[in-house]
Amino acid sequence: MEPDADADVDADGDRKNVGDRENVGESTAGDEPQADVASGPGTEPAPVPASGPTATGPTRRTRRGSTPTRSGKASRGDYTGCGLWALGFLVLVLVSFAVGVVLRPDTDPNEGPDAVSLARSVGGDSSYRLVGRTDETEDPCVTLLRGDEEVTGQCGVGVSTDAGEVDRYAVTSSELEDGTTVVFGPVPRQAETVRLELSDGSEPEVAVRRSDAAGLSWFTYETDQTVAGPAEMLDGNGSPVPTPR
């Protein structure tokens, strides 16, 4: 069969078209713009503008009217300020404590919660009261008060130190405004009676009282005489209570 002329033409046309496409592709690739490069010694290439971020990194933009944010790391000035605040607070606490100590009134042991009213006498200028308590060493104490003023008192069972006075106990006395003498004092637990020695030679015997609230045994006696010497403590059988050796 003879080849079809149209087919040959078409085939040739196809080939021509393919060739045209190839030529177009080559022409297109060759038509891309190229940077002019000058040749020759001492000539530097022209700089090419960068289309993206530079090598130094992106540029940080700051809004107009805003201040740059501060780093989260504390500076030395921050620590210094905190230290000064803490020191000032400590000084204030110490000053307040010192002022409180200076202005605080002295605590009266005879008016505290451990003080117990033992006896009271109402007689104008001769009024008084006896208060009992135990001190910090657990010794029994009996104190004579007039109003809020402490007149005299005794802590612990007193032992006579006079030569030749065996098994005798010291007692406490005070003269009131009307001339009456109040004799009193704590006594040993085993004592039941106190035998006094007065200036007129009499030896009255006084019953011992006990106060469970104050935790002590004691006695009191009023007389118009003065006390001449130490007292004698008698037990339930009337025998002298020996003094501690």
Residue ranges per structural domain of the chain: 110-234
Residue 151: per-residue pLDDT: 94
Residues 203-229: what's their mean pLDDT? 94
Residue 7: per-residue pLDDT: 42
Express each pLDDT in 39-78 by its tens digit.
444 445 555 454 444 444 454 554 555 455 555 555 666 6
Contact 228, 154 (CB under 8 A): no
Helix (H, G, I), strand (E, B) or coil at 63: coil
Contact 168, 229 (CB under 8 A): yes
What is the percent of the chain with per-residue pLDDT over 90, rounded to a whole number?
A: 39
pLDDT at 18 over 50: no
Strands 116-121 and 140-146: unpaired
Q: In terms of Cα–Cα distance, which of 191, 122, 115 is closest to 153?
A: 115
| Cα 66 from chain centre | 46
Cα torsion angle, 18, 19, 22, 23, sign:
negative
Residue 158: per-residue pLDDT: 85
Among 18-27, 62-71, 162-171, whose mean pLDDT is lowest? 18-27
Q: Which amino acid is at 9?
A: V
Residue 171: per-residue pLDDT: 94
pTM for the full model? 0.55
- CA 232/CA 114 separation, integer angstroms: 29
Express each pLDDT in 94-126 by its tens digit.
877 665 544 444 445 555 556 899 998 887 778
User: Which residues is 194 bridged to in the sheet?
Assistant: 206, 233
